[in-house]
Structure 1
Amino acid sequence: QSHSTSNATSISQHAALAALTQDQQAVSRMREEFQERRNRLVGGLNHLPPLRCILPGGAFYAWCNVSGLGQSAELTAAQWLEDALVATVPGEGFGAPGFIRLSFAASLATIDETLERLGQWLKKRRP
């Protein structure tokens, strides 16, 4: 077992070398796709007052400020899951109370559906 856990195997080293030295077009396409997904999610959230979201610079998560809803992010995340079937993670566990983390590692169709569901959820809350 020590041979497989203490050093990278030779086949892994060759695979890593190929990934770093070969054509990077797939990486560029993937980066562009994630930027489009990010922009769609963040832009859509920012068109759903009182939600506010800043454009993330890395990873595939967006942090949405839900403090304008007048309730905790934990409660909001639970309601989104129960009422809108939108799975999120409340920010309290990350030291970010008032925020909810959403992933944009999903298809554009799923992101659009998420935004539609959240929009409907917000409409039902308004007097």
Structure 2
Amino acid sequence: MMKKYIFLILLLILSNYGFGQEIPNKTEKFDAQIFEYLSQTIEKDSIYLETFLECSKPFSKWDIRPLKFEKVYAMDKVHSASEIPNFFWGAFSNYYKLSIEEAMRKPNVFLNTGSQKQDELTDYLKTNSKKFDKLSNLILKKSE
């Protein structure tokens, strides 16, 4: 009898763990809204491919990966949050008329170029740190 209760308690715990996890944004359609915004911005402002990559790779201003959630609901399915930028890149690589091979290679080439320029960019940041601090403070004041 005790084994039966232990089994039921374990089953309840496991079912809550597996099925009780809430997937964020299921009803918000954030993926479609962001995609639409980026599409309009790219076309309206004639954004170059390199600029798109600068703005959309990890932790850039258009990086849309959810930082607080491991799984998200996008394109009518549950996906790993880290997959989301890849879907967007796939769609926008079509806009830039890249072949599949070029589209797969381009982000890595872009990131490698950034790695090679790391010292130069670090020096630039150090040289202009007061300007960045001033800009950051202005942004913080404006958002209050």
Normalized per residue, the structure richer in strand is 1
| TM-score (ref. length: structure 2) | 0.30
Determine which structure has greater relative contact order: mean sequence separation of CA pairs < 8 Å that are 6+ residues apart, divided by chain length: 1
The two structures have a TM-score, normalised by structure 1, of: 0.33
- Structure in which a larger fraction of residues adopt helix: 2
